[in-house]
Structure 1
Amino acid sequence: MRALLVAFLLVLTTAAQAAPVRIKDLANVEGVRGNDLVGYGLVVGLSGSGDSLRNSPFTEEIMAGLLERLGVNVTDDAFRPKNVAAVIVTATLPPFARSGSQIDVSVAAIGDAKSLLGGTLVMTPLNAADGEIYAVAQGSVLAGGAEASGAAASVVQGVPTTGNIPSGARVEREVAFDFSQMTDIRLALRNPDFTTGARVEAAINRALGDGLANLEDSGTILIDSSVLGRVNPARLLGQIENVLVEPETAARVVIDHKSGTIVIGEDVRIDRVAVSQGNLTLRVREAPVVSQPNPFSPGDTIVVPRSQADITQEPGIGFAEISGETSLSDVVAGLNALGIRPRDMIDVLKAVHAAGALHAEFIVN
């Protein structure tokens, strides 16, 4: 039971001390980020798995508009293709992307198309939040699954109504951002923490010069490049990114109800506490009996109900003591000594936390 408990439930941080991490893995540079793009387009060339135009009139409208721009006049009676699907196209414009560079795009059907397998995305403008067009997407869609159906059955693997186009969009407009002229650069910690921020500040100043870095708050470190004179900000950041820092981690217990997983951080502490756990199981079984009269005799056939109910108390652990420990391995050993089932461990930790004996941030997903 203990082996099952360890294997099924606990994903643990066993290192006695956190390993040094590069600053580039701890922080982002303020202003250096991607921009989300979105567009509305058509996927053509589907093998009869596209939108049914009567249920998706928007597909018919955009298809008719596209053909008219190409000089083809269509009428409602003659226009009923089944190999066209309306899609939403999304992409991320990376920082410092230049005109002519290519980016990946994702495609997802918004109508009742069954599959995008084998389709081709027609030229689709991609807009940013400011309404401007920054890229244009086009190309063959790599669908994320497969679908097959017959007269009475169908089978679907994966999600065939979504897909992607590697390097499927070409950047047409650049984001105005002159990084070379920046003198004040801010590093934003992904997990704000005053201790980690102070260590980042000290490591940068120790490696590249006193006064270069200044901790502004728990998540922001200001880099004043003017301290070093006239320097290239890009090269300076290239040096800062590879400075090693030992991050500080908060004590956390994370529980995922869906998978029954518990993650316990290294700094979690439990005060001396006594725990008792056991379950009651109520079972009700029905065994109806059919009663009928003898042949050629008067009477009716009836069903006589018969129920059996019992309560079973599964053996509990009685009271077990978990003493106040000083290391993660001792805490885990104390919890495993309870000998309870994996799913019940979640309830035990909740109760210990409610009693005020668990000193950690308690997160339940």
Structure 2
Amino acid sequence: MVAQVTVAARIGLIACLLSVLAAPAWADTVRVKDLGRFLGWRENALVGYGIVTGLAGSGDSPASAVTRDAVKNVLSRMGANISPDEVHSRNVAVVMVTAVLPPSAHMGDRIDATVSSVGDARSLVGGTLLMTPLMGPDQQTYALAQGTLVVGGYRFDAQQNRQQKNYPTSGVLAGGATIETPASSSLVNRDGELTFVLQDADATTAERIKDGINTSFGRRVARVTDAATVTIDARNVGSDTYAFVSQIENVSVTPDARAVIVVNERAGTVVAGGGVQISSVVVSQGDIKVSVSQDNDAGQPYTSEYGYGRGLYVASKKIETTQGQDAVVRLPNTTVADLVQALTQAHVDTRGIISILQSIKAAGALHADIVVQ
């Protein structure tokens, strides 16, 4: 009895969610800023190669030639002349350091860095990263990283026993990298134009963005290049480029949304986007029968100068779901939300609902994309 209540409650929650999500998505407006980015405004990856010291015997083993050479090179720069064969410490580890350079960065700004082991170190807990240059794809140094690692885990070995939590061979330097070379993004190209790139290519949304920008400025400054690109004329902006960009970013538009149903078969959940419609179809699965039909009701005929014309017809759709002999539900329209509610009343579990939706899609009666996670 408890299991039945739990399943029914879960299906009822899904039906309620679908009823809310079935409202047309196009009713909401969003800022242009939330629909994409300007070409040229991007982050850049940084990477470096360094050494972590201060480990309590959990670093790279003496068999690691890379670690011995790295320690030898560091000590040589400090004035100590030793050979790699003289390095036998397990308190050091060779690591790779990665960070992300923001689109606009000034000298002295601090950014986060991630440190991960390259050799056979067991743990980086308690370690300190020595000064490590972080380079971009052009091999130029943009930041220097140094500091104490924060590792969200541990590993302890004693007498062939091991205790480990998470992955202690990687850690984070919160604000541990300092920008040494300033970086800035150029938004305006040589022709004096801005290019806005949509996150999801859609011709209708691109046209609405163009219309919204032109309306905001009171003149034709934007044009659609393709389904993912809107080009904006910035030749008359002068030095107020970022004020111009800010005005564009805050233009409100109504993006076009395609109908999507997201199915998570492992968790047994179904989430539908707005405006998901089902055409006339009949699906039978075991003792479950789903019927979607359409009736045309005659309306008042219109009058023309040549006499009476053809009457109007009003389409009335309904869903019938039957399981066994007595479970019959009739609904006035044909959306995914209504179908799920009908199946819920027929005591169909979530996996059965997923299977029925996939069958209706295969029959060409479900006008939405099904994304299976």
Q: Decide whether the 8 Å contact of 1:9 with 1:262 is kept in 2.
A: no
Q: Which residue of 2 aligns with 1:158?
A: 166
Choose which of 123, 133, 143 in structure 1 pairs with 2:141.
Answer: 133
Choose which of 88, 91, 105 in structure 1 pairs with 2:96.
Answer: 88
C-alpha spacing 1:149/1:10, structure 2 compared with 1 (3 Å): farther
C-alpha spacing 1:5/1:70, structure 2 compared with 1 (3 Å): same
The Cα offsets for residues 256-280 of structure 1, whole Å up to 9 and x where unpaired, read as: 34444333211222223333335xx
Choose which of 79, 84, 99 in structure 1 pairs with 2:87.
Answer: 79
C-alpha spacing 1:95/1:142, structure 2 compared with 1 (3 Å): same
1:206 aligns with 2:215: yes
C-alpha spacing 1:349/1:57, structure 2 compared with 1 (3 Å): farther
Q: Which residue of 2 aligns with 1:291?
A: none
Amino acid of the structure 1 residue aligned with 2:371: I
C-alpha spacing 1:59/1:337, structure 2 compared with 1 (3 Å): farther
Q: Decide whether the 8 Å contact of 2:105 with 2:184 is kept in 1.
A: no
Identity of aligned residues (%): 38
The Cα offsets for residues 95-150 of structure 1, whole Å up to 9 and x where unpaired, read as: 12122222111111122222212211111111222222222211111112233343
* Cα RMSD after superposing both structures: 2.6
Displacement of 1:321: 2.5
Q: Decide whether the 8 Å contact of 2:44 with 2:136 is kept in 1.
A: yes
C-alpha spacing 1:180/1:342, structure 2 compared with 1 (3 Å): closer
Displacement of 1:239: 1.5
1:28 aligns with 2:37: yes
1:319 aligns with 2:289: yes
The Cα offsets for residues 65-91 of structure 1, whole Å up to 9 and x where unpaired, read as: 111221223345542111212211111
Displacement of 1:34: 0.7
Q: Which residue of 2 aligns with 1:19?
A: 28
C-alpha spacing 1:329/1:257, structure 2 compared with 1 (3 Å): closer
C-alpha spacing 1:102/1:180, structure 2 compared with 1 (3 Å): farther
Q: Which residue of 2 aligns with 1:270?
A: 278
Higher alpha-carbon deviation: 148-157 or 260-269? 148-157
Give matches, 1:299-314, under 5 Å: none
Q: Which residue of 1 aligns with 2:329?
A: none
Amino acid of the structure 2 residue aligned with 1:195: T
Choose which of 223, 226, 230 in structure 2 pairs with 1:221.
Answer: 230
What is the number of equivalent residue pairs in this alignment?
A: 325
Choose which of 127, 143, 160 in structure 2 pairs with 1:119.
Answer: 127
Higher alpha-carbon deviation: 186-195 or 173-182? 173-182
Q: Decide whether the 8 Å contact of 1:135 with 1:169 is kept in 2.
A: yes
Q: Which residue of 2 aligns with 1:314?
A: none
Q: Which residue of 1 aligns with 2:117?
A: 109
- Paired with 1:52 and 1:318, the residues of 2 have a C-alpha distance of 64
Choose which of 147, 152, 156 in structure 2 pairs with 1:148.
Answer: 156
- Paired with 1:80 and 1:275, the residues of 2 have a C-alpha distance of 72
C-alpha spacing 1:77/1:88, structure 2 compared with 1 (3 Å): closer
The Cα offsets for residues 299-328 of structure 1, whole Å up to 9 and x where unpaired, read as: xxxxxxxxxxxxxxxxxx432334564445
Displacement of 1:37: 1.0
- Paired with 2:240 and 2:189, the residues of 1 have a C-alpha distance of 9
Q: Decide whether the 8 Å contact of 1:87 with 1:107 is kept in 2.
A: yes
Which ranges of structure 2 fall in alignment gaps of 5 or more residues?
1-6, 294-316, 318-332
The Cα offsets for residues 314-346 of structure 1, whole Å up to 9 and x where unpaired, read as: xxx432334564445324324434533223433
Choose which of 197, 206, 215 in structure 2 pairs with 1:197.
Answer: 206
Give matches, 1:227-306, under 5 Å: 228=236, 230=238, 232-278=240-286
Q: Which residue of 1 aligns with 2:306?
A: none
C-alpha spacing 1:111/1:9, structure 2 compared with 1 (3 Å): farther
- Paired with 2:355 and 2:263, the residues of 1 have a C-alpha distance of 10
- Paired with 2:344 and 2:239, the residues of 1 have a C-alpha distance of 57
Displacement of 1:211: 0.5
Displacement of 1:10: 8.9
TM-score for both structures, normalised by structure 1: 0.80
Q: Decide whether the 8 Å contact of 1:320 with 1:338 is kept in 2.
A: no
- Paired with 1:89 and 1:20, the residues of 2 have a C-alpha distance of 41
C-alpha spacing 1:4/1:210, structure 2 compared with 1 (3 Å): same
- Paired with 1:152 and 1:343, the residues of 2 have a C-alpha distance of 46
Q: Which residue of 1 aligns with 2:182?
A: 174
- Paired with 2:237 and 2:139, the residues of 1 have a C-alpha distance of 40
Displacement of 1:160: 1.8
Q: Which residue of 2 aligns with 1:69?
A: 77
